[in-house]
Amino acid sequence: MSTRLADKKPAIPTHVAVIMDGNGRWARERGLPRLAGHRAGAEAVARCVRAAMQRGVAYLTLYAFSSENWARGQEEVSDLTGLLRYYLRHKVRELHKEGVRLRFIGDLARFDDSLREELAQAESLTRGNSKLTLILALSYGGRLDIVQAAQRLAQEAKNGRIAPEQITESVFTNFLWTSGVPDPDVVVRTSGECRLSNFLLWQSAYAELVFLNVFWPDFNERHFAMVLDQYAQRERRFGARPQGPA
């Protein structure tokens, strides 16, 4: 049995990934505009980040804006990007002081030049931090991630820098937007929906899945603790047979 399988699983996952779902339904139930739900969701992000740091999680990836979100109404897209811009301008330095490193993954080229510059500045400012790596998936899709990695690898092969038979899983992983980041140990989705919705498809191959029946704006430290409790109770086998009597 490999060392990876033999080692006892730590109680605290190294990497937690979250599909933050339910902002719109949360707002609708309260007779509020969708933007109110997104703003309340941003406050839940702050609680989630705080809980991750308190519990010793090293990586936290949040599905903030999917590639499919571009198909929403122009007003909502503008609200979402405006909210992102606001937090880049008003919250990044606070995160920097707390030792959080920011990283952004996805098809960032779809954002305007000024927003991309602010994203780059946030990454540059926080690059040396190590308390928590906070990864925001923006204009992100799991299938798109795999396709762009395949395209880049194909170009490498075309240019003679790699032979097709040299392409392994580990090589392929290095061409994903999450290169250098360990795969998530647990993927969480709020709102009661039970699907991945095109999020970290390659990276989540062996992740534990936790589905919570709570809208994202209501997510708090107690819910984060529930996720960690569920994770600690599961046995991760990475496709191997369970040990002991059948």
Q: Which residues are catalytic?
A: 21, 69
**25 labeled part of a ligand binding site:** yes
Question: Any binding-site annotation on 159?
Answer: no
Query: Is 34 annotated as a binding-site member?
Result: yes
72 annotated ligand binder: yes
Is 237 marked as binding a ligand? no
In angstroms, rounded to a whole number, what is the distance separating the alpha carbons of residues 186 and 177? 18
Backbone dihedral region for residue 192 (phi beyond 0: left; psi -120 to 50: alpha; all else: beta): left
Does residue 191 come out as left (phi exceeding 0), alpha (psi in the -120 to 50 range) or beta?
Answer: left
39 is in an annotated binding site: no
127 is in an annotated binding site: no
66 annotated binding-site participant: yes
Is 38 annotated to bind a ligand? Reply is yes
CA-nearest of 203, 241, 245, 209 to 227 is: 209
Among residues 71, 87, 101, which one has the least CA distance to residue 181? 101
Q: Is 124 flagged in the annotation as binding?
A: no
Rounded-to-integer distance, Cα 236 and Cα 7, Å: 11
Distance CA 233, CA 237 (A): 13
Give residues with Cβ within 8 angstroms of 12, minimum separation 6. 55, 56, 57, 228
- Annotated ligand binding at 85? The verdict is no
What is the token pair recorded at 22? Answer: 């339910």
Binding residues: 21-26, 34, 38, 66-68, 70, 72, 189, 195-197, 208
Binding residues for Mg(2+): 21, 208
Binding residues for substrate: 22-26, 34, 38, 66-68, 70, 72, 189, 195-197
